[in-house]
Structures are given as C-alpha cells and as structure tokens.
Amino acid sequence: MEPSLYIIKGIILLDNDGNRILGKYYDSTFSSVKEKREFEKKLFNKTHKANGEIVMIDGLTIVYRSIVDLHFYVIGSTNENEVVLVSVLNCFYDTLSMVLKRGVEKRAIIEYMDTCTLALDEICDSGIILEIDPMSVLHRVSIRDNDLPLGEQTLFDVFKMAKDQLKSNFR
C-alpha cells in the first residue's frame, strides 16, 4: 500500500439517539445518504454503551469519544495509524470545547453550528489532515470584532467602526 495524505474517511458527531448533528465524509466509501445513515446507526449501536476508544466496522478503523450527550467519531481505513486518528479526534473535541466555553453539549453545538463546521474544515479537508493543534484551529475560526452583530458590540466599538468608515469615505 502506497502512503497517502488522504487519511481521514469521515468525521461524525452524533447525539444520544444516534442522529447526526455534524459530519463530513471525505471519500466514496458511502455513496448514498441511505448508506451513511445505516453505517451511522450500526456505529452508534456498537459504541454508545461501550467504554472503548477504538472499533473496527466494515473494514474501517474508527476512534471515538462520548461526552455528555454527544458521540465524536473519526473514521480511517483499516491500515491507518490509530494515534493519528486519535490526534484528529482530540483536536476536534478540544477546539469545540474552547469555542463553546459553556461546555460541549448538543444545544451549544447547534447554536454555534457555523463555527463548529468551520473548525471541522480547518482540521481536515478532503481527507487530508491540515491541523491537529486546537489553539491554531481556534485562532483561525475565532470571531473578529467586525463580524459581530451590532447588538453584541459595545457602544465604543460601534462609534469606532463608524469613525473608521467615515475616514475611509473622505480619502
């Protein structure tokens, strides 16, 4: 088998009922939505009561972690290094826990779905691992002051932004 950068086959986040909250598949192992749902159901049934960290299903190596009402999964091929997969899993979880300062739970994930999806994209793209340092990922996905809605900015920030816009209009 030749070495490849395409290590990750999928990253999935399921709730306590086995429903997908967030997930990305990076290859054609599961080509239809029905196949993905069946795989997720099989995966959830095998892991939701287990205390392990790794499982092999359908010729895939899957590392997982269960926290409160969420189940995190990183999927790789059978010959993939589990330590690498666990590094991706830890990065994803640690990044989400820093983004969701109140705690990693289903409601918070849904509330900050855009940032969580962006974090996932910063960690892995098309199955290639881009980053495994949670602080680097957090830095890339953190909200800039200009991106905050006016209602969430302080009065000083609003005046500063208006002043900057006026300056740029008179140049």
Rounded to 10 deg, the angle between the 134-141 and 113-123 helix axes is 130
In a domain, 160, yes or no: no
Q: How many domains does the chain have?
A: 1
In a domain, 167, yes or no: no
Cα R_g (the chain), whole angstroms: 19
In a domain, 52, yes or no: yes
- Find the Cα–Cα–Cα–Cα dihedral 50, 56, 62, 64, rounded to 10°: 10
In a domain, 33, yes or no: yes
In a domain, 170, yes or no: no
CA–CA separation, 23 vs 13, rounded Å? 6
Where residue 127 sits, what CATH number does that domain have?
3.30.450.60
pLDDT at residue 168, as a whole number? 72
In a domain, 166, yes or no: no
In a domain, 94, yes or no: yes
In a domain, 141, yes or no: yes
CA–CA separation, 18 vs 76, rounded Å? 20
**Per-residue tokens: 130:** 């881009």
> For residue 151, what pLDDT band results from cuts at 50, 70 and 90?
low
pLDDT greater than 80 at residue 161 = no
**Range of 26's domain?**
8-145
Q: What is the pLDDT of residues 100-142, one digit of tens each?
A: 887 888 988 998 898 899 999 999 999 999 999 999 999 888 7
pLDDT at residue 48, as a whole number? 87
| Choice among 20-29, 56-65, 140-149 with the minimum mean pLDDT | 140-149
